[in-house]
Every structure is written in structure tokens, then in C-alpha cells.
Amino acid sequence: MIRSDVEFDSSGTTCRAWWYRPEGTTPAPVIVMAHGLGAVRRMRLDAFAERFTAAGYSCLVFDYRHFGDSDGEPRQLLSIRRQLDDWAAAIAFARTLRGVDTARIVLWGTSFGGGHVLVAGERDGRVAAVISQCPFTSGIASTAALGVVSGAKVTARALADLAGSALGRPPVTVGLAGAPGSAALMTASDAVSGYLPLVPDDLEFVNEVAARVGLAIPLHTPGRALRKLASPTLVCICDEDSVAPAGPTARHARRAPAARVIRYPAGHFDIYVGADFERVVADQLDFLRATVPA
């Protein structure tokens, strides 16, 4: 396989990506991929992309604005609207790639990105298929999972960050993964031990984001888009998910005529490594072969 560094414009800011291409001359479908809450492509997305490319698929794996190798100031600004715009820009860029089957675009997202692909796919209306892994589908459910103490701390810092941004001050931040009761967006008992080990040793990772997103998350319900998504959709649910509870995702999926659900006896972070990774990749490849064969 070939992996190239590419970049595309999203609302005037440069997003950077890997473009994986399989060997051979037959145009391959393109899987557009991005990560979850504050995460970057180097946190195990290459492992998924390599499996898909080995099976004959092309992959475009990008970092959101303000994160990773992409541009955008201030750094660590997590804006739901901007990230959805980045998805639209990445899809548009994928349709310009030469030597691939740009008529067959697949969206793949995990965690917070697993919710983004539902919205992006429904908005685009032309994607061939969607894979949503351990998806964030209900802001209310994920906020409840955060707990009262952490929720109060995040809200206080979010209000301070919002007020400071109006005055041009640097962001007030909250943690991404933190201990139970801390001012972080993920504070379940497995958050620190599950999230931070995904970071490669040679990556200077910042475990925080601008706190203002804490006010937007409870109001965001991407699961509603799943009900209107016409493209074949695979929803991979972790039954022991401590970050994106399984119940709301399953309820949204039951009302989605194009959705297929596979459930795993695993936690939110287990799906990226080990036996659970092998199982979910095999299931995703089966889905791809059945719906968008390479």
C-alpha cells in the first residue's frame, strides 16, 4: 500500500490527512476517517486504515482543525460546528482524488466522530455507506455519565471560557480524560487508563480542550440524524460503554431503517486494541464487502 501526506481547505484553514491507496489499478472506494473527542489520527486510526487498505479500499484519514497536524488557532478548540464543516470539506476533497472510485465514498467515525459521521452522511445525502463505532449519539446521556461533580466543574469553566473568549482572552481549558470528579469531559473509571494509552510515545499530546464545548455537548444529539440517514449504516455499540452509553444509541438505531447494529461486550476504549479491535475490524470489513465491495 501507499500512504501519502495530503491537505485540504476547510473554511480557510488547512486540514492535513493521510491518503492510503491499495496496490493495483482498479479504482477503489474511499473511506473518509476521523477520530473522536480531542483525539488525533495518530491515536490508532492508522491501524484501522491499514486493515481497510489491505482489503482493497482507499482511506483518507484527517485531523480536525485546531488539533493534531492541522492548522487552526487557538489550539485545542473543539467546535462541533467546525468539525462538521471539516467532515464536509474532507468528503468534498475525497471526491477530487484521482485514481479512486470517488462515486463510492464511505464515512468512518469513532466516539465523538461516530456521531459526526451520522450527521455528515445525512447532510451529504450521497455517501455509499457509513460506519459509526462506539458513537456519541446523545449529549444528555454522555453528560449524565460525567456525573454531577465533574459536570458542575466543567460548566463553571465553560462559562468562564465563553466570557473570556468575548474579551479576546486565551481559552480556559478542561481535561479530556481525567479522574472521577475532576474537571474533564471523560471521567469514568476507565477514561484515563483507556484514552491516554492510545497516544503514541513520540506524540506530544495535549490532554485538554477549550472548556466552552462543555456547554454545547448536552445540546447535541447526533443520534437523530441516524433515523434519517438513507445510506447503509453499520453501528458498532460497546455494551459497557462508560462515555457514550449504549442505550440511547440502540434506541436511535432501532428507528433507523438503513442501520445494522453489532454489539460488543466491551468498554468504550477496548475497541481500539487487542481482541476487541480484531473483532470489530473483521465485522466492519464484512459490512464493507457486502455494501461497497472493493
Q: Is residue 202, in this structure, part of any structural domain at all?
A: no
Angle among Cα 162, 181, 159 to the nearest 5 degrees reads 10
Q: CB neighbours (10 Å) of residue 76?
A: 17
- What residues make up the domain containing 66? 2-139+221-291
Contact assessment for residue 137 and residue 221, using Cβ atoms and an 8 Å cutoff: yes
Query: What pLDDT, on the 0 to 100 scale, is given for residue 57?
Result: 96
Contact assessment for residue 154 and residue 184, using Cβ atoms and an 8 Å cutoff: yes
- Please tell me the distance from the alpha carbon of residue 92 to that of residue 102, in angstroms, as a whole number: 10
Q: Is residue 182, in this structure, part of any structural domain at all?
A: no
Burial class of residue 108 (count of CB atoms within 10 Å of its CB; 0-12, 13-18, 19+): buried
In the chain, the number of structural domains is 1
CATH classification at residue 244: 3.40.50.1820
As given in the structure block, the three cell numbers for residue 267 are 468498554
Sign of the Cα torsion 43, 203, 137, 232 reads negative
H or E element at residue 6: strand 2-10
Query: What pLDDT, on the 0 to 100 scale, is given for residue 4?
Result: 96
Strands of 171-232 (E only): list them. 173-177, 184-186, 208-210
- Please tell me the distance from the alpha carbon of residue 130 to that of residue 280, in angstroms, as a whole number: 14
- Please tell me the distance from the alpha carbon of residue 245 to that of residue 267, in angstroms, as a whole number: 10
- pTM (predicted TM-score): 0.96
Q: Is residue 92, in this structure, part of any structural domain at all?
A: yes
Q: Is residue 10, in this structure, part of any structural domain at all?
A: yes
Q: Is residue 58, in this structure, part of any structural domain at all?
A: yes
Mean pLDDT in runs of 10 for the chain (294 residues)? 96 98 89 97 98 97 98 97 98 95 96 98 97 96 93 96 92 96 96 96 96 96 94 97 95 93 97 97 98 94
Please, which residues have CB within 8 angstroms of residue 239's CB and are 6 or more apart in sequence? 246, 263, 264, 265, 266
Asked, as a colleague might, if the bond just before 200 is cis with ω within 30 of 0, I would say no
Query: What pLDDT, on the 0 to 100 scale, is given for residue 154?
Result: 96
Contact assessment for residue 121 and residue 107, using Cβ atoms and an 8 Å cutoff: yes
In 3-state terms, what secondary structure has residue 208? strand
- Please tell me the distance from the alpha carbon of residue 16 to that of residue 70, in angstroms, as a whole number: 5
Q: Is residue 213, in this structure, part of any structural domain at all?
A: no
β-bridge pairing 2-10 and 13-21: antiparallel
Query: What pLDDT, on the 0 to 100 scale, is given for residue 25?
Result: 73
**Ordered alpha helix ranges (H), 125-262:** 139-146, 148-166, 191-195, 213-216, 223-228, 246-254
As given in the structure block, the three cell numbers for residue 17 are 490527512
Q: Is residue 257, in this structure, part of any structural domain at all?
A: yes
Provide φ and ψ at 189, rounded to 5°: -65, -25
Q: Is residue 209, in this structure, part of any structural domain at all?
A: no
